[in-house]
Structure formats: C-alpha cells, structure tokens
Amino acid sequence: METADQRRMHLLAFPLYTGAHVAGWRHPDADVGRLHEVDYHRRVAETAERGKFDAIFFADAQGFRSIVGRDAYSRTDAPRLEPFGLLSALSMVTTHLGLIGTLSTSYNEPYSAARRLATLDHLSHGRAGWNVVTSTSENEAHNFGRDSHFGHEERYQRAHEFVEVCKALWDSWDDDALVLDQASGRYFDPDKVHGLHHQGRFFKVAGPLTTARPPQGYPVIVQAGASAAGQKLAAETAEIVFTSHPTLESAQKFYRELKAQVAAAGRDPSSCKIMTAIQPIVAASEAEARSIGAQLNGLIHPDLALSMLQMALGNVVDLSAFDRHGPLPDIPQTQAAQSTQMRMIDMARHENLTIEQTALRFAAGRTSKTDAGTPAQIADLLQTWFADDAADGFVISSAYLPGQLEAFVDGVVPILQERGLFRRDYEGTMLRDHLGLTRPRSRHEGRPELHVEPEIWQSAPAGAT
C-alpha cells in the first residue's frame, strides 16, 4: 500500500469512442471512421502507455442508450466493440498499461464473466480490471429477454452476489495447483482445485473455473455507482471507484464520505482509489483551448442534447412538451442512474438553468468536471483537486481522439512528473503494482477445511454411464 509521503496521483485513459464530448466526432481533427479498426484503438492505447497511465478504461453497454428519437440518436458515435475482445487484442501491443473493461452483472452470468476476466489477466500477464456495472438501459433488458429492467435495489443485490461468486471462482485453483510434471504425467494437483457449490438468491454455480488462478489473484475491481446502493457495493468490493463531479466541493464530499464507508466495511481506505472524471481541453494558449471548447459546444445538436438529458433523467417526462427556455419541470425518481439524475436536477435548480441550458451543459460534459487551458493550467487543476482530497487520481476523458489525449500526454504529464505528482516510469508490470494494491490471498490458503471436491470428479452414482 502507498503511504502518505509516497502518494502519487493515478491516471486512467477513458476513450469514449471518438471522444468524450458528444460532438467530439465532428471536430476536424477527430479520427471518426475507424472505430471498428484495431489500429485506431492501438494508437490510443500506445499513447496512454507512453504517458505512463495506470490503465485504459472502456465503457460498454449491451444495447442502445434510451435516447428519444431515431434522428437524435443518429447524431452520436454509437457503434462500439465488445470490450474484452478489444482489450485482448490491445494486450498484445502494450506491455504495462492496465486494461479495464465494463461487464454487466445484470446481463451476464458469473461463471462466464470470471472466465473471461481470468483469461484477459493471463494473456496480459496481470493487467486486467473489471468495471462492475448493473446497467440502466431498457434496451439492454429487452435484448436479454426481459420486459423491463431490474429494480434499483435488486440489481445491486444481484451485483454483490455476482462479484462474490466470481472471487470464489478465481480462488478455485490454488496458486501452486499446476504441477506440470511430464515425467509422472500429472498436470495439476486435484487436491488444490476446489469446487464451489454456490447456491444463492440469484445464482447457482458448481465450479471450479476451467482457468487457473489469475496472475493478480483477482482482476482489479472497478465500480462507478454513486447512489447509496452503489456506494455500499463500492465500499465493500471496489478497488477503483470511477466518479464524476462538476465542482471541487462535491468531489471532496464524495471522497470523504466514501473513504469513511470503506473504513466502516473493515477495509483500509487506501485500498480503494477514488478516480474523478475530468474532460480537459489542452492547447498552447488558454484562448486557443477555450476556442476549441466553444467550437465543440457549438457542434452539439439541440435535439440530441434534449434527448440525452431526458434519458439521464429516467425518460419519465417528455421534455419536448415544455418550453425549452423555461425551467426544468419536476422529475419523479426512477430506476435509472439515480445519482446522475439527482446531480442534473440539483445543477439546474441551483444555477437557475433553462431546460435547453441544462441539456447543453449535460451533453457537453455529462456530470464531469470540464476545463480548457494550457498544459500548466490543466496540471494546476489536477494538482488542486488531488492535494485537497477530492480524488486519488483522474479519469481523463479526452474531448476528441486521438489528438486531445496526445496533447495531454505530451503537455500535462511532463508537468505533473516535474512536480513529483506522477510517476516517470512504471515500477511494476501488473495493474495492482501501478495502483499500489496488494494481491488478494486465496480463501483456501492455509484453510484446508474450506476444500470442496469438484462435482466433476466425485464418484458417479451406481448405474450411471
């Protein structure tokens, strides 16, 4: 674990398709036509690794977002690749960069998820991370045979059990289970492979995993929920918490309260890194950076912005029925992303924003902190938030790609390094090394009483064939 005098900020690259800004794909320097090509993603990953980032982090959903209207949705760079296939490819062209992918606990099964994550950790020699999400899109529910999405509390209860089953599956092989004795013909020690026989509210899983224990023990667990249920899950399980705040004060409050919950859950608060999303626009001068920002905001189509806001607010009120230049109407609480919903309502009320102003603000930066300036000004912002206990590091959501990530790596990172705030080189090869996290012990280590025989080699019933 890091000590106070060794504390350095952490950085994750968050490449949202062709950029985090909703109109980033329309910028003339955006590489818009190659989202399905590995070389595009390779360039982004290699840039992040050149900047000594802890990891690259891919968001995902298994369905379209519930943007209202086909015309509005067609104005976004919606196509996306399945993240773990992509990360496996990127593991072959990077050597140190952590590889974090999103995988839903609502529309997957623990066994296949644990196997997919263990495979990536092996292929990358210990660089895998799992962004645990519960999903919010109704289209995702419809793609998996459900008429509606899980309720908010239910999906977090399911997520908690899902994560625990995955950890048990990763522990189903002891670290030294592989014997590899060619002379005797013994590949692994059967006494060091454990069944699971889990029977819970949501899942029934026999085990063991068909994949040996991952190099990191467990892939690094990432979680982004900011609701009360999401924070509880994060406090108990997460090693990185991805959050977004438009102000220093809200980020500090979240940081302070979540660290207290981590401690209350019996964990060392330093074992949970709180990473705040920042959408910086970097240029040689402040005027140039602000001009880029204004250009991007001017490219946001108002209909798209309104649809995105309606989606974020849970799609329970038709905003098009109200005067766009009037105040935001009352919004009932929904099963959607409740923390985002509350932040947008609070922002609109606190700043007396109209519906259209709220929509454009949300579309420009979602709920992340946005800023435009020189490399030194962006470094100043990160240093202030880091030093004032608003974050352990930052999720860099470049407005358009690959140019803005390259501007950050070439301009901001050297300043952070010169100030002693960020590493000059990697000090290990695994994602846990970068984050200063310990490797979790297997639940079976030193506890033979926990051994459960896998059912696959239990005695067959009499007469079975």
Q: Which residues contact 70 (CB under 8 A, 6 or more apart)?
A: none
Buried (b) or exposed (e) across 340-374, using 16+ Cβ within 10 A?
Answer: bbbbbbebbeeeebbbbbbbbbbbbbbbbbbbbbb
Per-residue confidence (pLDDT) for residue 68, from 0 to 100: 54
Strands 273-282 and 240-243: parallel
* Long-range contacts of 261-264, Cβ-Cβ distance < 8 Å, separation of 24 or more: 261/231, 261/232, 261/234, 261/235, 262/234, 262/235, 264/235
Q: Which residues of the chain have pLDDT under 50?
A: 1, 3-5, 464-465
Alpha-helical (H) ranges within 366-463 are 375-387, 403-407, 413-418, 431-435
Tell which residue, 384, 281, 255, 276, has the closest CA to residue 23: 281
Angstrom distance (rounded) from CA 116 to CA 105:
13
pLDDT at 365: 66
User: What is the reported pLDDT for 116?
Assistant: 97
Q: What distance in Å separates the CA atoms of residue 259 and residue 273, rounded to the nearest whole number?
A: 9
Alpha-carbon distance 31 to 24, whole Å? 10
Closest of 323, 398, 50 to residue 42, by C-alpha: 50
Cα 156 to Cα 6, 106, 228, 239, 457: the distances in Å are: 35, 9, 10, 17, 34
Q: Check residue 77 and give its pLDDT.
A: 67
CB of 172 closer than 8 Å to CB of 194: yes
Q: What is the pLDDT of residue 3?
A: 46
φ and ψ at residue 163, rounded to 5 degrees: -65, -40
Return d(Cα 465, Cα 455) in angstroms, integer. Answer: 15
- Other Cβ atoms closer than 10 A to 28: 8
CA pseudo-torsion sign 150, 156, 157, 158: positive
First to last CA, the chain: 53
Question: For strand 186-188 and strand 178-181, is the pairing parallel, antiparallel, or unpaired?
Answer: antiparallel
Locate 255 and state its tokens: 């940081």
The angle subtended at Cα 330 by Cα 326 and Cα 336, nearest 5°, is 120
What per-residue confidence (pLDDT) applies to 4? Answer: 47
